[in-house]
Amino acid sequence: MRIINASERRQLVSQSYFQHIEQVLREYFGDGQYSEEKVRGGQTGARKVIFLASGKKYFVKIGEKVERENNIYQSPKFSNKPFLLSPILIPNISNEVLVLPFYDGETLDDFILRKNGQWGEVYTCIRSILQQAAKHLWLDTLTKNETEIAGGVEKYMTDRLDDLSQNLQIQIGDSVIGFADLINMKIVLNSNDERISLPSINEMVDDVVQLFQRFNPPYLSAITGDFQPPNIILGPDGFKVVDLSNGDELGDLAMDIGKLFNFANRFYRVAYIRDGKAPGNSGKAVVSLKAGALEIDTEYSNDPVLQVLMSDLEEEFTRTIADSIADYYLPDRAKLYKFVINVITIKRHIGRRGLSDLLLANIADSYIEIMRKVRSI
């Protein structure tokens, strides 16, 4: 048994089906063909390609989770949103194919990299994106919530951890241990001259689920489910959020917010290495086994100004939303979701060279944030 990675999953969309879709598109547009241009991003098995017709570009996505994404696009809660693209509805095409007008721009993560040091511009840009998303999506689709979300969040995490526990063996130094054992080991994080003892990942999960029980949201709303810089494109017509494959008509807006700030706080290190954008100093983490515990040594620190600006923006923004809808635990939940996101993303990223250690460091770091900004302050 082994994990099939994203590029292998993409191969599962058969070549003949891929060509068949090209023919359908050609018939619809009158001419055209797939472009050789590479499309970056996305960690699902869906195959993504640019289709060129009459001098115009279209983004085509085929395969895993696309049917779900099409359904999200067609939901009234997601229609007429200025920052969402409108799919082109092509008759007789499978719901597993999504065709969008190609939005030519710069992803938000590229913008942040390019503006390195000009943090005022980064701050203003992200704030504006958050404000628009709040106005047009999260607050525009509020529904009173009568359910407990903690169970769902727990399942979201444990399903993935259980999957990995069945299959995965991890080599740490000279030792090989099962993933199930790894997530039961206590953790020590050495970061910026601090040595912090932490519970095991399984214990952290239990703790976070308990906190979710306490902080249940009074409202649910439409969320994109993957509101992070690589999925946000800045272009001539403002910003557009792409990839609604994890979208939800009744989700917790704290999840979208948490995802964005988790990227700004720590996940960018994983994403930049993954996407080949890593600047030389983006840092690394090294996991070792010491005295029966996982010891994680990190060799990075965030820019102190950007760190405070993002913290300022996160707290100010979540407080403003929390105040406006009397959801006073929203700032807490946004932090809980950061941890959740770091746990669930293991499945997609573990095994990639250089990422596994960073992923564990991110889980530990996001749990420390909960200890210091939720549990006690």
Partner 1 sequence: MNIEGVPPQPDEPEISLNRLAVEKEGDYVERIRLQAEGIIDQCLSEYGVVNHRVVEAHKTRKSVFGCVEVEGEKRFFKISKPSRILQELQGYKIAAEYPHERIVDHFFLDDYGLYLQDYCEEISTSEGQMQSQINRILQQIDTQDVQKVLQGTGRLFDTMGSIFQRHFTKMPLILHGQNDRFFYDRVKPGGRIDQLYAGRMFNFPSLSESITFEDLSKLTFVVNGEIMSLTLGELIKKARHDLSPEHNRFFVLSQGDPTETNMALCGKFFDFETGGYNDLIQDIAIFSYYNYSGGHYFIPKYFNTETLSDMRSRDRQEYDSLSEFSSGVTVSCELDRKNQKLVVNGQFPYPKLKQEIYTQFRDSVVRPVTRLLPAGCEQELVGRLQSAFLLRAIGVKDIAGMDEKDLILSLILANHFAQPDPGSGGLIDFLDQKMVDIHS
Q: Which residues would be at the binding site for partner 1 (CB under 8 A)? A: 117-120, 123-124, 127, 131-132, 134-136, 139-140, 304-305, 308-309, 311-312, 315-317, 319-324, 326, 328-329, 331, 372-373, 376-377
Q: How far is the CB of 122 from partner 1 (least distance, A)?
A: 10
Instruction: Work out the burial of residue 242: count CB atoms within 10 Å of its CB; fewer than 13 is exposed, 13-18 middle, 19 or more buried.
Output: buried
What is the CA angle 58-125-334, rounded to 5? 95
Q: How far apart are CA 29 and CA 186, in angstroms?
A: 58
Query: Please, which residue, 220 or 310, has the CB nearer to partner 1?
Result: 310
Residues 6+ apart with CB under 8 A from 187: 197, 198, 199, 200, 201, 293, 294, 295, 296, 360, 364
Q: How far is the CB of 124 from partner 1 (least distance, A)?
A: 7
Q: How far is the CB of 369 from partner 1 (least distance, A)?
A: 10
Q: How far is the CB of 156 from partner 1 (least distance, A)?
A: 25
Tokens matching residue 247: 């979208």
Query: Please, which residue, 289 or 306, has the CB nearer to partner 1?
Result: 306
User: Mapping DSSP to helix (H, G, I), strand (E, B) and coil, where does residue 376 land?
Assistant: coil
Q: How far is the CB of 307 from partner 1 (least distance, A)?
A: 8
What is the rounded (10 degree) CA torsion for 254, 260, 265, 267?
A: 110
Q: How far is the CB of 312 from partner 1 (least distance, A)?
A: 5
Tokens matching residue 72: 């999200």
Q: How far is the CB of 166 from partner 1 (least distance, A)?
A: 36
Query: Please, which residue, 85 or 321, has the CB nearer to partner 1?
Result: 321
Instruction: Work out the burial of residue 281: count CB atoms within 10 Å of its CB; fewer than 13 is exposed, 13-18 middle, 19 or more buried.
Output: exposed
Q: How far is the CB of 311 from partner 1 (least distance, A)?
A: 5
Query: Please, which residue, 123 or 156, has the CB nearer to partner 1?
Result: 123
Q: How many other CB atoms are there within 10 angstroms of residue 76's CB atom?
A: 9
Query: Please, which residue, 27 or 315, has the CB nearer to partner 1?
Result: 315
Query: Please, which residue, 55 or 76, has the CB nearer to partner 1?
Result: 76
Amino acid in position 273: I
Query: Please, which residue, 5 or 302, has the CB nearer to partner 1?
Result: 302
Query: Please, which residue, 85 or 130, has the CB nearer to partner 1?
Result: 130
| Contact of 52 with 29, CB cutoff 8 Å | no
| Strands in the chain per DSSP E | 33-34, 47-53, 56-62, 97-101, 106-107, 143-144, 169-172, 175-178, 187-191, 194-198, 219-223, 232-235, 238-241, 248-251, 284-290, 293-299
